[in-house]
A and B are shown apart, each in its own frame.
Chain A
């Protein structure tokens, strides 16, 4: 069965500092991988996705993620965090855009 692990429940970074949110997945075939962001009381916004090809994918808002098959990871990164990035981030694995299995989420706090 597919599963997604986001080991960090909360992360706090200073504004302007770099960010890395971890995501590990378990999936039998080549996964479709996604990162979504959710602000309080809102739906989810797609940040980026990986289906195939270049393992470093660029997303919106300056985010990027790198697919590492050997580590079953798809970590999200941003070189310089802004206060508006404070939100909850979900990693998800999907099968051809069908059902998505979500990780538990990582809450990002940004301190000024």
Chain B
């Protein structure tokens, strides 16, 4: 149980395009999901907290117009990187909070490369 998936696992795109990443909780409902960014050889940095049916809460320094988050259902949150630039290249990881277990479960991550 407590499986979280992400799609796609890899994406390469041209500068200026937008990329959507999906995060799904497969066997539990998640009112709260989280989006993290991880640079090579570094720890995870929380970008935003996604709450089902309401606006996401962004961490300081994260541009909400750049990283659009939608959490339209209890099992799906999406992160859209708008007008991507090479500096947005990173490993993006989502997690979903299982309220019953009071624990976050992580997706396998999405590696984004912007050319």
Contact = CB atoms under 8 A, between A and B. Distances in A.
Tell me if chain B binds chain A. yes
Contact of B6 (A43, A94, A98): A43
B50 to A, nearest CB: 12
Interface stretch (B12-20, B64-72, B80-88, B106-114): B106-114
A46 B44 contact: no
Contacts, number: 54
Q: Provide the main secondary structure of the chain B interface.
A: strand
A34 B97 contact: no
Given A43-B93, A43-B106, A49-B103, A90 B44 contact: yes
A43 B33 CA distance: 15
Nearest to A9: B41
Interface of B: 4, 6, 32, 34, 42-44, 46, 49, 91, 93, 95, 97-99, 101-109, 111
Given A42-B108, A46-B105, A94-B104, 20 more contacts: A41-B109, A41-B111, A43-B93, A43-B107, A43-B109, A44-B106, A45-B106, A46-B106, A49-B103, A51-B102, A96-B102, A97-B97, A97-B101, A97-B104, A100-B34, A100-B46, A102-B43, A104-B42, A104-B43, A105-B43
